[in-house]
Homo-oligomer: A and B are copies of this chain.
């Protein structure tokens, strides 16, 4: 080993990787793992998946020439090592903090990030697009999609596979098989892949079988003959080794994903083939960090954690998600029609309680939000009451199914819209700011936005047992922070009125901010302002509009995209209102900081109202 610096910020990366010995690569992997663990322990983020892809990423950058070759990471949260190896080591300690590196890949952050990613199962389609553009331009470089087995449960991956096989492009799909999607791996594909995982390398076995046939002269010929007679059955069987080959790909693997030599060999083979190829790589999530190896699920997406005990902070017992999950279980004990569905987010949505207690009525469908909604509609057609708990941002995948499979027949189903509003450190791809705009475009839709735990429980119960049609109950990431003495409990409208001529209209988590603003205005400025807080926010009741007509000025604050917001709908009904909503995509940062920047904190509410009064005066 020559005198090589292993300081990531000083190395000439990714170029220098190509000249490194396997021994040096192993040392670099160690350095990277240490960096990952210390950084994620401070900043939070995805640990297990990144620890699992250290060697794979090193090998990708040894075998290919990024950014000329394009690497597309599915759900970019597995790309931390990629960031460290592509000129971002010096800023790595800023990851997921405001103004710092994103926790996902972003083309505007680095030319090495070939595509934006955050939602699952898009990498094959995106990479096929990039590879096709290269083909049209006669550019011979490669495009590599890297996805985990979890991403393969999303239908878009299959749509991509179905189109990629025949594309004649230099596309390589690296399937990182780590035996775990976000909560657990689901479905037949997982089972099938686990068979592949334990198979001998395909090329080895194929050769072995051919050898057997050739080395048995008495046998070989007659079998081959019979086989030909019966439509090449055995030939089919020999060639037909994997589902991916059925879909038109060359297949390489399985490869030990922590052995850089084997990885280099496999990726070089795929590169040499020059046709769409699937490379199956076995990795271990959390590799190299014992607490994460033992409990990779706990380390999927973590807040900052204690490095010594490795205690992760996934979903707290008092979070809205947990309250939702527990209340749902309570009601489901009494009503046997209730079924719970998650798309690979059992822990994130608080459905682990339901799963443990009522496994027969619990369904983890994988990262398959489209199927989840149509499946729910099928359950409802069979007389059940389905509840799909899903993050606001991921429910975007189900838009057509909500309309076509639920709304047209006015089918009764409940959607638990988790992570509604600003989610913080995960940034643009994960903010839950579109659910109100898109859900309100769907007929037969009711939307609740409770502010605190008792309201969440009441809304869920009403949605399940009293309402009809589609009922969305939306709640933010985090826990109820309303002071106990302010804990209203209504499914309609809550008011805090003193007879002012002005009012704040808000709902959900921002109610807290409004209460603080109201107090501050009264105590510091002797200004009185009313608060109107609908809990059922849609459809907008005529009575709410009548109430608002009694005010000279209505200030509306909403944690959602402005186009299609509740405020826009209220304004359209002739109410003179000042709308504060979100103007576009919101980058990563701390939720409270972001709310403040977006003009939605109590401070900014106060400021806005004061400015109005000053201008008027």
Residues of A at the B interface (CB closer than 8 Å) are 72, 106-108, 114-116, 118-119, 122, 125-134, 136-137, 153-166, 186-189, 191-192, 195, 198-200, 205, 208-209, 212, 216, 218-219, 222-223, 226-227, 230-231, 233-234, 236-238, 240-241, 243, 246-249, 336, 339, 360-361, 363, 365-366, 368, 370-371, 374-384, 386, 394, 396-397, 399-401, 403-405, 407-409, 428-429, 434, 437-438, 440-444, 561, 563-564, 568-569, 571-574, 576, 584-585
Contacts and interface: CB of A to CB of B under 8 A. Distances in A.
Q: Quick one: which of A365, A386, A576 has the most chain B CB within 10 A?
A: A365
A297 to B, nearest CB: 20
Q: Which of A386, A400, A404, A429 has the most CB of B within 10 A?
A: A400
A564 B437 contact: yes
B166 A132 contact: no
A437 B568 CA distance: 13
Contacts of A442: 434
A378 B115 contact: yes
Given A159-B154, A163-B187, A126 B375 contact: yes
A480 B200 CA distance: 63
Nearest to A427: B408
Contacts of A108: 409
Q: Name which of A72, A118, A246, A407 has the most chain B CB atoms within 10 A of its CB.
A: A246
Nearest to A575: B572
Which of A222, A227, A374, A441 gathers most chain B CB within 10 Å? Answer: A441
Contact of A441 (B233, B246, B437, B443): B437
A163 B399 contact: no
A585 B443 contact: yes
Top 8 A-B residue pairs of the complex, sorted by shortest distance between their CB atoms: A129-B378, A155-B155, A133-B382, A165-B188, A237-B237, A159-B371, A437-B441, A125-B374
B399 A129 contact: no
Among A107, A240, A404, the one with the most B-chain Cβ atoms within 10 Å of its Cβ is: A404
Contacts of A227: 212
A564 B561 contact: no
B382 A129 contact: yes
Nearest to A579: B572
Contacts of A434: 403, 441-442
Given A136-B339, A437-B564, 15 more contacts: A115-B378, A126-B381, A130-B379, A130-B381, A130-B382, A163-B365, A166-B187, A166-B188, A188-B248, A191-B248, A219-B222, A396-B400, A396-B403, A404-B429, A444-B584
A306 B25 CA distance: 73
A361 B132 CA distance: 9
B125 A375 contact: yes
Contacts of A440: 563-564
A357 B371 CA distance: 38
A40 to B, nearest CB: 24
Nearest to A216: B219
A365 to B, nearest CB: 5
Contacts of A212: 223, 226-227
Given A133-B381, A384-B136, A163 B126 contact: no
Contacts of A230: 200, 205, 208-209
Contact of A162 (B153, B246, B584): B153
Q: Name the residue in A188, A339, A561, A564 with the highest tally of chain B Cβ atoms < 10 Å from its Cβ.
A: A188
A243 B365 CA distance: 20
B378 A192 contact: no
Contacts of A191: 165-166, 248
